[in-house]
Amino acid sequence: MKPQNSVTIVALAITFLFFGDVGQGEEKEAIQSQGGYRAEFVPLEGEGEGKTLILKGKLLVAEIPNSKPVSFSPKTDVLLLAEHAPDDDLQHFLLDLGKGEVKKEGNRLDYVFGGRYVKEAQWSEDGKTITLLYYEGLASQAEKKFSVEKLLKR
């Protein structure tokens, strides 16, 4: 969609700042890991509410509240999730499903990373790093790279 004038641009910017990426409400298809795990988003009734279901075959492995699956590592069963809630400080976190990790425990600030205004996440081909790309003009940097090994040790 190409904005017709500056009023439209301002309206889109205000919508994004107050409601986040307008595409967040769209339901994505399930994503699958190399090892056969499947993660899918289930929207719930309230604004910004939803959960991730993680399955292996027909077996439900985990339900992760207030989260949305982003992608799996290209080499392992590590799942990247985005927090999904009616909040302004949503970040990302990892679950190493291949090693049996099906939930995060402890202080949220000990395992989340990234920050606001992430538009895309890219795994390196070897699955050792994740680069988060941010919306231009909304974040203090265009991108930030994270070591998967270091994130999983948190």
pLDDT in tens, 52-99: 999 999 999 999 999 999 999 999 999 999 998 877 778 999 999 999
| Structural domain contains residue 21 | no
| Structural domain contains residue 18 | no
Using an 8 Å Cβ cutoff, are 110 and 151 in contact?
no
Return the structure tokens found at 45: 């009734």
Q: What percent helix, strand, coil does the chain show, rounded to 5?
A: 20, 40, 45
- In the DSSP assignment, the letter for residue 138 is T
Proportion of the chain above pLDDT 70, given as a percent: 82
Tally of domains within the chain = 1
Residue 145: strand, helix, or coil: strand
| Structural domain contains residue 15 | no
Domain, as residue range, for 137: 27-152
| Structural domain contains residue 20 | no
Average confidence (pLDDT) over 107-132:
94
pLDDT band of residue 25 (cuts 50, 70, 90) is: very low
| Structural domain contains residue 10 | no
pLDDT band of residue 28 (cuts 50, 70, 90) is: low
pLDDT band of residue 143 (cuts 50, 70, 90) is: very high
| Structural domain contains residue 6 | no
Average confidence (pLDDT) over 99-128:
94
| Structural domain contains residue 147 | yes
pLDDT band of residue 27 (cuts 50, 70, 90) is: low
Q: What is the DSSP string of 87-134?
A: -S---EEEEEGGGT--S--S-GGGT-BS-S-EEEEEE-TTSSEEEEEE
Average confidence (pLDDT) over 132-150:
94
**Residue of 4, 3, 15, 8 whose CA lies nearest to 138:** 15
Using an 8 Å Cβ cutoff, are 101 and 95 in contact?
yes
Please report, for the chain, how many H helices and E strands are present, in that order.
2, 10
| Structural domain contains residue 4 | no
Using an 8 Å Cβ cutoff, are 81 and 90 in contact?
no
